[in-house]
Amino acid sequence: MPHKTALVTGGASGIGKATALKLARQGVTVVISGRNAKKGASAVQEIEALACGQAQVRFMPCDVNDEAAVQRLVRQVVSEFGRLDMAVNNAGIYNESATIDQSDTQNFRDMFETNVLGVYYGMKYQIAQMKQQGGGAIVNLASIAGLNGVPWTGTYCATKHAVVGLTKAAALDHAAEGIRINAVAPGAIHTDIIAAQIEAAEAELDAMHPIGRMGQPEEIAEGIVWLLSQESRFVAGHTLNIDGGFQAK
């Protein structure tokens, strides 16, 4: 890849951190953002060590629930690095496993705020910058729960279906401006967000995928980085399943 700058929200752990590492290994300047500066600093150290100094990696604090903070984040990336070529709207939460009648309304509000409005704020300011500079690529984190009903996961499903909808519509609006917007839909992946589910039912999570196991964050990063790259230049508005065959059922 020619020299580029990327932003990964929620990039200090899991899929975001794996994506940042893969980009850094390709020489891309990477900004990871998140709420916890200590966690961010340690992720930067880890990525720099694994990428053997092949790229600049920075942490910038940002809670994606705060629109003004997201706007400042995009401004700060551009003021320090001159442009924003790639953005991954990855920050997300999963705060409740329940049927709709048993679910807590505030939990749904919180999840909607981060998973949907957080992605919306991100795209809003990333697109504005990419329009100014004449192009860019954005990948949003959806889920198999953004394409299917998943039992006991109705509220999270709603947020991830919204991410797929936002991705498709924004892709149509901005494709002609040289901005490609896509999403990935991971199956169950070994990360903190589903640590409780993994502890309670790892074998069931493995068995849910025709390939017979859960995924690793690096396997999702592969797809994200491809969607950000020139190799996928004719792909827009797509949601890429990376799910061990789950969608084929």
Ligand X SMILES: NC(=O)c1ccc[n+]([C@@H]2O[C@H](COP(=O)([O-])OP(=O)(O)OC[C@H]3O[C@@H](n4cnc5c(N)ncnc54)[C@H](O)[C@@H]3O)[C@@H](O)[C@H]2O)c1
Interaction of residue 204 with ligand X, rule CB under 6 A: no
Q: Nearer to ligand X by C-beta: 51 or 70?
A: 70
Q: Nearer to ligand X by C-beta: 16 or 223?
A: 16
Site for ligand X in 215-234 (CB under 6 A): 217
Q: Is 156 a catalytic residue?
A: yes
Interaction of residue 182 with ligand X, rule CB under 6 A: no
C-alpha separations of 142 from 56, 98, 190, 220 in Å: 28, 20, 16, 11
Half-sphere exposure of residue 198, counting CA atoms within 13 Å on the CB side? 12
User: Considering CB under 6 A, how many residues would be counted as binding ligand X?
Assistant: 28
Stretch that binds ligand X, among 13-21, 44-52, 78-86, 167-175 (CB under 6 A): 13-21
The angle, 0 to 180 degrees and rounded to 10, between the axes of the packed helices 14-25 and 217-228 is 50
Q: What is the C-alpha separation between 182 and 175, in angstroms, rounded?
A: 11
Half-sphere exposure of residue 58, counting CA atoms within 13 Å on the CB side? 16
Q: Nearer to ligand X by C-beta: 111 or 236?
A: 111
Q: What is the C-alpha separation between 209 and 245, in angstroms, rounded?
A: 6
The site string for ligand X over 75-94 (x = CB under 6 A, - otherwise) reads: ---------------xxxx-
Q: How far is the CB of 193 from ligand X (least distance, A)?
A: 3
Site for ligand X in 14-73 (CB under 6 A): 14-16, 34-35, 63-65
Stretch that binds ligand X, among 6-14, 78-86, 96-104, 124-132 (CB under 6 A): 6-14
Q: What is the C-alpha separation between 222 and 184, in angstroms, rounded?
A: 10
Measured in whole angstroms, the distance separating CA 224 from the mean position of its chain's CA atoms is: 8
Interaction of residue 239 with ligand X, rule CB under 6 A: no
Angle in degrees, CA 94, 99, 102, rounded to 5: 100
Task: Choose which of 103, 191, 239, 241 interacts with ligand X (CB under 6 A).
Answer: 191
Site for ligand X in 143-162 (CB under 6 A): 143
Query: Is the Cβ–Cβ distance between 187 and 246 less than 8 Å?
Result: yes
Q: Nearer to ligand X by C-beta: 91 or 236?
A: 91
C-alpha separations of 191 from 92, 174, 248 in Å: 12, 32, 23
Interface residues with ligand X (CB under 6 A) are 9-10, 12-16, 34-35, 63-65, 90-93, 114, 118, 141, 143, 186, 188-189, 191-194, 217
- Show which residues are catalytic: 156
